[in-house]
């Protein structure tokens, strides 16, 4: 029974969508290892606990979001069959999962270094805060972006024990990327958000203008990646990775029109999964093929 409820919980939080943020976190870790000249004891141990921390943080945040939004989800035709509104899971069990995932995050942070442990409560606070933001600000998409964007900076801290401002360019890139695709995704709920008075960009600006905002956010993402290429002096493969992302984003935006949102899920899930994975593969190849050190 416990295993069955755990499986339902993992399905509820779309556990497989950890792929969105994790490749960027691993890229941040690889860049930090590169900065060290790969002269870091226990590299694989660090990578293991970085992965544990990232997955635990996302799992806690997603379960918390489902709890906070349960009543809203129950009124939304698109989400009323989610696990909590449909009573497939109880709030009590879900709260227990949030606590367990949060404790796992803190333990992973403890295993990494002291600064990670000190910052873990702040990271969790940002993740939990997002769940309330669409009730009062159109910047909710940016807060979600920040929630994913802190992943590469956190991974850098996990490796180096300190923060280098340069990695914040990758944080900003992930923030703009996430906010952009979240704006696209929220276009599906335009009518519902109007009825509920929720502060999504599509509800405030309209769908056509929201899609333009999403394009602008993705342009800003590419700009941050270009600045990161220049600042960290990475090579041709990393540049090719940015070019691949540009192509994928152009295709993603071609899938969605103001009068045709039928392919939003393809734009949201499929294309953004490719974006994060391909970015990591290109940048990882570049890092390993270049001489360590900056």
pLDDT value for 267:
67
pLDDT value for 269:
74
Best CA proximity match to 203, nearest among 182, 181, 185, 187: 187
pLDDT value for 76:
95
pTM, two decimals, is 0.94
Answer for the pair 150, 84: CB distance below 8 angstroms, yes or no. Answer: no
Predicted confidence (pLDDT) per residue in 10-67, tens digit: 888 877 677 778 999 999 999 999 987 787 778 999 999 999 999 999 999 999 999 9
Q: In the chain, which stretches have pLDDT less than 50?
A: 292-294
Best CA proximity match to 279, nearest among 15, 20, 16: 20
pLDDT value for 236:
94
Query: Which distant-in-sequence residues (6+ apart) come within 8 Å of 78 by Cβ?
Result: 188, 189, 192
pLDDT value for 293:
45
Spatial separation of the C-alpha atoms in residues 228 and 223, rounded to whole Å: 9
Buried b / exposed e over 173-210, threshold 16 CB at 10 Å, is: bbbbbbbbbbbbbbbbbbebbeebebbbbbbeeebeeb
Answer for the pair 83, 12: CB distance below 8 angstroms, yes or no. Answer: yes
pLDDT value for 157:
97
pLDDT value for 180:
96
Query: Does 1.10.3210.10 match the CATH number of domain 2-289?
Result: no
């Amino acid at each position: 029974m416990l295993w069955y409820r755990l499986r339902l919980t993992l399905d509820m939080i779309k556990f497989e969508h950890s792929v969105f943020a994790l490749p960027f976190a691993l890229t941040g870790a690889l860049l930090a290892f590169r900065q060290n000249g790969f002269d870091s004891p226990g590299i694989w141990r660090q990578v293991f606990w970085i992965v544990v921390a990232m997955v635990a943080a996302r799992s806690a945040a997603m379960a918390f979001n489902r709890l906070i939004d349960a009543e809203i989800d129950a009124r939304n035709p698109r989400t009323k069959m989610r696990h909590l509104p449909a009573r497939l899971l109880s709030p009590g069990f879900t709260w227990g999962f949030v606590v367990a995932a949060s404790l796992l995050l803190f333990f992973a942070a403890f295993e990494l270094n002291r600064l990670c442990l000190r910052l873990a409560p702040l990271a969790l606070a940002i993740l939990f805060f997002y769940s309330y933001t669409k009730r009062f600000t159109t910047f909710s998409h940016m807060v979600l972006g920040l929630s994913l964007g802190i992943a590469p900076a956190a991974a850098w801290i996990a490796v180096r024990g300190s923060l280098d401002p340069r990695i914040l360019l990758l944080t900003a890139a992930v923030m703009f990327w996430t906010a952009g695709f979240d704006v696209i995704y929220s276009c599906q709920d335009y009518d519902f958000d109007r009825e509920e008075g929720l502060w999504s960009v599509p509800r405030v600006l309209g769908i056509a203008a929201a899609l333009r905002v999403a394009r602008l956010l993705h342009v800003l993402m590419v700009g941050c990646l270009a600045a990161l290429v220049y600042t960290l002096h990475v090579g041709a493969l990393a540049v090719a990775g940015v070019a691949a992302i540009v192509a994928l984003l152009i295709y993603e935006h071609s899938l969605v029109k103001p009068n045709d949102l039928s392919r939003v899920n393809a734009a949201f899930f499929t294309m953004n999964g490719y974006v994060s994975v391909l970015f990591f593969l290109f940048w990882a190849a570049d890092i390993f093929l270049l001489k360590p050190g900056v």
